[in-house]
């Protein structure tokens, strides 16, 4: 059994990327894994101020919801990120969270497998490339981990447009296979 954390970064009700994240989580649960699902909706996540005190103390000086999320990521075997694609990039709240998790850098971490789920109104193989590149930049800082899988669903712009899409089943199966 693995400890899996799924982080849904969309703030929109009826989010297509959140629907994929939920299916990934259900698949992982069906396989017998312990799953923690975190939605950034309603979370307070402030911007990194670049003070770098976290590199000395292992803790951020900013008081918000990030330390609890970071602790879950540090102790997970698997991390799955879900984000809508905005202007060919990950959501701003995902990038802000990644920046704020700088305090993890000097710490030991358990995660080895990282997954990415992305959705966008536009379709095409190029649409998700920058978001994937941004996440792999984070992964590269944690040399014992790797991007194990990525599912992109294009052509889903409005809320709940992903309903009935085969990518939901694909996300479920990916979660089940970890």
Alpha-carbon distance of 176 to 87, in angstroms, equals 31
Confidence at residue 178, expressed as pLDDT on a 0 to 100 scale: 95
Strand order in the sheet with 3-8: 34-39, 3-8, 78-84, 113-120, 146-154
Q: Which residues contact 77 (CB under 8 A, 6 or more apart)?
A: 2, 3, 4, 110, 111, 112, 113
Confidence at residue 106, expressed as pLDDT on a 0 to 100 scale: 85
pLDDT digits (tens, 9 = 90+) for 10-68: 999 999 999 999 999 999 999 999 999 999 999 999 999 999 999 888 899 999 999 99
Query: For the residues 97-126, what does the mean pLDDT come to?
Result: 94
**Least confident interval from 72-81, 99-108, 120-129:** 99-108
Q: Which residue has the tokens 């259900």?
A: 26
Confidence at residue 105, expressed as pLDDT on a 0 to 100 scale: 86
Q: What is the rounded average pLDDT for all residues in the chain?
A: 96
Residue 99, φ and ψ in degrees, nearest 5: -60, -40
Q: Which two tokens stand for residue 117?
A: 């789920």
Total-model pTM: 0.96
Task: Determine if residue 157 is left, alpha or beta; phi over 0 gives left, psi from -120 to 50 gives alpha, anything else beta.
Answer: alpha
Instruction: Sketch out the chain's domains with CATH numbers.
Output: 3-177 (3.40.50.360)
Q: Which residue has the tokens 């014992």?
A: 144
Alpha-carbon distance of 98 to 145, in angstroms, equals 15
Q: Which two tokens stand for residue 79?
A: 């991390």
Residue 31, φ and ψ in degrees, nearest 5: -85, 0
Query: For the residues 141-145, what does the mean pLDDT come to?
Result: 93
Q: Across 22-26, 98-102, 105-109, which has the greatest mean pLDDT?
A: 22-26
Confidence at residue 62, expressed as pLDDT on a 0 to 100 scale: 96
């Amino acid at each position: 059994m693995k400890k899996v954390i799924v982080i849904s970064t969309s703030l929109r009700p009826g989010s297509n990327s959140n629907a994929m994240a939920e299916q990934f989580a259900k698949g992982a649960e069906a396989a017998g894994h312990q799953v923690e699902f975190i939605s950034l909706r309603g979370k307070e996540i402030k911007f990194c101020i670049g003070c770098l005190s976290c590199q000395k103390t292992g803790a951020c000086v900013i008081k918000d919801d990030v330390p609890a999320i970071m602790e879950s990521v540090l102790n997970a075997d698997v991390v799955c990120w879900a984000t809508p694609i905005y202007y060919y990039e990950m959501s701003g709240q995902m990038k802000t969270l990644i920046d704020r998790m700088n305090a993890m850098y000097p710490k030991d971490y358990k995660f080895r497998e990282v997954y990415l789920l992305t959705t966008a109104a536009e379709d095409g193989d190029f649409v998700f490339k920058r978001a994937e590149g941004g996440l792999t930049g984070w992964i590269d800082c944690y040399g014992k981990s790797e991007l194990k899988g990525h599912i992109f669903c294009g052509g889903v712009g409005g809320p709940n447009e992903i309903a009935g899409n085969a990518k939901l089943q694909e996300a479920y199966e990916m979660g089940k296979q970890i």
